[in-house]
Amino acid sequence: MKLLVLAALLCGSMVLTTASEYCTIYLSLARSYRFNMSSGCPHGWSYFNHRCFVYVPRSMSWGQAERNCKSMGGHLASVHSSNEYRHIQKLTSDHDYMETWIGGTYEFEEKVWLWSDGSSFHYTHWCPGEPSGGNQNCLQINYTPSKCWDDLGCGLHLPSVCAKEKSTLLG
């Protein structure tokens, strides 16, 4: 509703400046982009800790999955606490906890793990003996019955979890 009000106000001000042909465009965009009004997340995304998350069941390479998340305004999910990891686990639980890409990637020259969204990589949930290195530079979750993290070759095709900041238009 707030988005529709914002679009209507924009249109009202545009009428005064003889640019009213854009009103139809703004109103149709506002109606077509549905949000969960209480969280600021788009329809189908879940809210947790000021971010929106979505499980993407389509299997893709890590790079394709990151580009897909970017096309939706986010990145592959970064994880900053055990509570956040449990939330991501809930998203994958309806899909039998399939091995799934998140945004961790190994930067070979710096020899450090990074998140694709640029946030700091301080929380981890690696399986024993992981990361194992070699040409395994991307992070999958739900590895082994322990549902811990594993480094994996980035070209393998897995589903993914995307994350983005909640919308500021709502609030």
CB contact at 8 A, 152 and 126 = no
CATH number of 44-165: 3.10.100.10
Per-residue confidence at 166, pLDDT binned at 50, 70, 90? confident
| 82-119 tens-digit pLDDT | 999 999 999 999 888 899 999 999 998 889 999 999 99
How, if at all, do strands 51-60 and 148-152 pair? unpaired
What pLDDT is attached to residue 168?
Answer: 57
The pLDDT, as a whole number, for residue 94 is 87
What are the boundaries of each domain within the chain? Answer: 2-33, 44-165
Cα Rg of the chain (Å, integer): 19
